Amino acid sequence: MTFRDRTVFITGASRGIGEAIALKLAAEGANIVIAAKSVEEDPRLGGTIFSVAEAVEKAGGKALPVQVDIRDEANIQQAVQQAADKFGGIDILINNASAIQLTNTEQTPAKRFDLMYDINVRGTFLVTQHCIPWLKKGSNPHILTLSPPVNLAPQWLGPHVAYTISKYNMSMLVLGWAEELKTYGIAANSLWPATTIATAAVRNLLGGEALISRSRKPGIIADAVYYILSRSSAVCTGNNFIDEDVLKDEGITDLEKYAVTPGGPLHPDLFL
C-alpha cells in the first residue's frame, strides 16, 4: 500500500517517536501533519513543529506544522480542519502524544493525574473523534495509538496506578474503535515497544544515559508503524501490537541495527 499523497495526522510529532514516524512516512511520499505544542525548542527535549516540518520536506514528504494542545477541543478542531483544507482530507491518525508520571497514589498530585487523563485519554479520544469524519473518506484509513496491551498484573498497577490506567484506557479506546468503525473500513490498533526507546522522556524521566544505552532507537517504532499501516484497514484492526513482533511477522528477525548499543543488554519496556 503506497503512502504517496496520503495524509497522516500525528500528535506529539515534534520530537522522539513521533518525529521518527513522521520522517519514515515522509520518505514514502506522505503528507505529514505535525500536531504538537512545541514552537520554541526546549534544550532538555529538543525539536519543534517547525524543525520536524523542515526535516519532513527534506525526506520527500509534504509538511503542515500545526501548534496543537490536545487538551483544548477547539484547538483540535482547528488543527484537523487545517489539515483537511491543505491536503484534502486525512487518511491516517497516529495518537502519539502522551504524559507520564511514574508515582504512587500518595505522590501523584491532582494536577498531574488530570494532565495524564486530559492528554492520554480525553485528548486521544477527542483527536480521534474529530478525525473520524475525514477517515471515513480516507484511503486505507488507520488509527494507530501508542499504548500497551492491557496487562492487569499487579506489578504494573501497584507502582504507578494513575499512569498505568491512563495508558490502558488508550488501549481500550482502540479496541472500542475497532468494533465501532469496522463498518467504515477504518482500522484501529495500538503499538508498544518491547524495549525502552531512546527518547528525551526516557533520558529525563526514567533512567538517564544508563537506560538510554540499553534502549533501542525510535526507528524500530517507525518501521513497525510503516508495516502496520501498509496492511489493509479492512482486516488489520483490533490489535495491541508489539514492535518486534510486527517486524518478525515481516520476516525481519535481526533487530541489532536498532540497538543504541549493538550487542549490549536491552531493558524491557513497561507493561510487558
If 0-12 CB within 10 Å is exposed, 13-18 middle and 19+ buried, where does residue 5 land? middle
In the numeric block, the cell 473518506 is attached to 137
Q: Are 64 and 87 in contact (CB under 8 A)?
A: yes
In the numeric block, the cell 500545526 is attached to 66
Which residue in 163, 168, 184, 226 is the catalytic one? 163
**Residue 195 per-residue DSSP state:** B
Q: How far apart are CA 182 and CA 117, in angstroms?
A: 26
Cα 224 versus chain centre, distance: 11
163 a catalytic residue:
yes
Q: Are 177 and 268 in contact (CB under 8 A)?
A: no
Q: How far apart are CA 267 and CA 272, in angstroms?
A: 11
Cα 43 versus chain centre, distance: 22
Residue 38 has phi, psi (to 5 degrees) of -75, 115
- Would you please indicate which residues are annotated as catalytic (active-site) residues? 163
